[in-house]
Amino acid sequence: MKTTINQVSNHVGEEVVIGAWLANKRSSGKIAFLQLRDGTGFIQGVVVKAEVSEATFSQAKNLSQETSVFITGTVVEDSRSPFGYELQVDEIEIIHEAVDFPITPKEHGTEFLMDHRHLWLRSKKQHAIMKIRNEIIRATYNFFNEEGFVKIDPPILTGSAAEGTTELFHTKYFDEEAYLSQSGQLYMEAAAMAFGKVFSFGPTFRAEKSKTRRHLIEFWMIEPEMAFMDHEDSLRVQENYVSYIVKSVLDNCKLELHTLERDIEKLEKITVPFPRITYDEAIDLLKQKGFTDITWGEDFGAPHETAIAESFDKPVFITHYPTKIKAFYMKPDPDRPEVVLCADLIAPEGYGEIIGGSQRIDDLKLMEQRYEEHQLTGDAYQWYLELRKYGSVPHAGFGLGLERTVAWISGAEHVRETIPFPRLLNRLYP
Ligand code: 4AD
Ligand code: MG
């Protein structure tokens, strides 16, 4: 009976046929161990010389890496393997022989692996990271559907920049100038006025000249936006959401976390509520930690975020940043207009900012003033002003960067391993 590796637990003691690739192999004179993968998982196939035909044993011994096969064997439980099962091989049918697969089990340099990303994706570690990414996406849809949010898709080609104009990808839109979206937020605000609680999930683009382990040129963002909700309400949604996805990965990706040797205990601590500190408190904390020359009004870089995160074993919200270093749409604190009602959520273990969010300006006059300060002229932004003209309400929202979140939860060193085909500074291939 034809089955897949993730289904073998339903076939213990039965003979099954599995379409698979040979990931790796070990053999002696009497026995061959085949590491098989079929996309759904990995299983060891054991070929015992005394129990198969001579032809089958020699086939097994000579199988080359990434050769595709239909393999017939009996499923047995195996308590030594983390997967719990192995396959006692009876027969091997070669579908296609792979010759000289470039990614061998030995160590390879990063650039080599990145040049072969289309093949590297097959490796056990990359497979585990992508499965965790998939679980986070699944949990995201579950969470927001359970909480009554409507999924709304903002445009990718746009005339309006949400996050400043320096990092835009420009493109021609017939005779007009257009950009690739940096954030769907402005459109999600319009959607929140139509549907109440909404979320988006889509690709966003930033022509950032940053070459760090946290920056991609193309990354995926989840952007919820909520009418009649303030800054505090939004923080509660954020911590509930993040703890929900961590729990989903812990519950449903045990094998993948094991493959990645992720310290599960650290993830088990991720429960609500998350700690909160203000920007002012963060400045004091940084001074205590030896960043003596940081001054009020400066933005934080990766070393600052990492130092702050070290004081907490959960993600930490940094709230109330100076108005002048944040986006034009953020609502000033009514008691202290030099800071805004915003928060960045900093992941533990040095993974940096995974969420940026804020309460939005809902007053037309103030928004018009910001337009002037930020020189947001032209037609592209007129529609956004109108949201403040017709039944404006307090509202708040946030954006979670998927790849940084996957990096943190899976323990990946660099965001390039958390997206199937990363777009990086100087890399558009494959
Ligand atoms: O903080 P950011 O720029 O916020 C916004 O874009 C808001 N408009 C979101 C909103 O309120 N709807 O980006 C949000 C998150 C960051 O916290 C980070 O996780 C991720 O997006 N991010 C990146 N991830 C990978 N590579 C990059 N170059 C990123 N830039 C931002
Ligand atoms: Mg940010």
Q: Give the integer Cα–Cα distance in Å for 314 and 286.
A: 18
The residues, any chain, with a CB within 8 Å of residue 363's CB and separated by 6 or more, are 388, 392
Atom of ligand 1 nearest to the CA of 358: 11
CB 47 within 8 A of CB 57: yes
Instruction: Give residues with Cβ within 8 angstroms of 121, minimum separation 6.
Output: 127, 130, 420
* ipTM score over 0.90, yes or no: yes
User: Which residue's entry shows tokens 């870089």?
Assistant: 301
CA dist list (Å): 256 to 118, 119, 228, 264 = 20, 19, 40, 11
Residue ranges near ligand 2 (ion) with Cβ within 5 Å: 356
Three-state DSSP at 424 gives strand
C-alpha dihedral sign at 100, 102, 105, 109: positive
Q: Which of 400, 353, 398, 352 is nearest to 235 (CA)?
A: 398
Predicted TM-score (pTM) of the model is 0.98
SS3 category, 71: strand
**Which ligand 1 atom lies nearest to the CA of residue 356?**
1
Tell me what percent of the chain is helix, strand and coil, each rounded to the nearest 5: 35, 30, 35
Residues with CB under 6 A from ligand 1: 162-163, 183, 185, 206, 208, 215-216, 219, 221, 223, 353-357, 397-399, 401, 403-404, 415
Look up residue 3 and give its DSSP letter: E
Q: Give the closest residue (by CA) to ligand 1 atom 21.
A: 401
Number of other CB atoms surrounding residue 361 within 10 Å: 22
Q: What is the distance between the alpha carbons of residues 261 and 238, in angstroms, rounded to a whole number?
A: 27
- Bridge partners for 204 per DSSP: 219
Residue 265: how many other CB atoms lie within 10 Å: 8
CATH superfamily of 117-417: Bira Bifunctional Protein; Domain 2 (3.30.930.10)
**415 DSSP assignment:** G
**310 SS3 class:** coil
Residues with Cβ within 8 Å of 426's Cβ and at least 6 positions away in sequence, in order, are: none
Q: What is the pLDDT along the chain (430 residues), one digit of tens a residue?
A: 999 999 999 999 999 999 999 999 999 999 999 999 999 999 999 999 999 999 999 999 999 999 999 999 999 999 998 899 999 999 999 999 999 999 998 999 999 999 999 999 999 999 999 999 999 999 999 999 999 999 999 999 999 888 887 899 999 999 999 999 999 999 999 999 999 999 999 999 999 998 999 999 999 999 999 999 999 999 999 999 999 999 999 999 999 999 999 999 999 999 999 999 999 999 999 999 999 999 999 999 999 999 999 999 999 999 999 999 999 999 999 999 999 999 999 999 999 999 999 999 999 999 999 999 999 988 889 999 999 999 999 999 999 999 999 999 999 999 999 999 999 998 999 9
* Fold that domain 2-96 belongs to in CATH: OB fold (Dihydrolipoamide Acetyltransferase, E2P) (2.40.50)
What is d(CA 346, CA 357) in angstroms, rounded to the nearest whole number? 12
- Distance in angstroms (rounded) separating the CA atoms of residues 337 and 350: 31
Q: How many CB atoms lie within 10 A of CB 214?
A: 20
**What is the C-alpha separation between 181 and 170, in angstroms, rounded?**
10
Stretch (H or E) spanning 406: helix 402-410
Domain boundaries, given as residue ranges, for the chain: 2-96, 117-417
Q: Whose CA is nearest to atom 11 of ligand 1?
A: 398
Query: Ligand 2 mean position to 60 CA, how many Å?
Result: 53
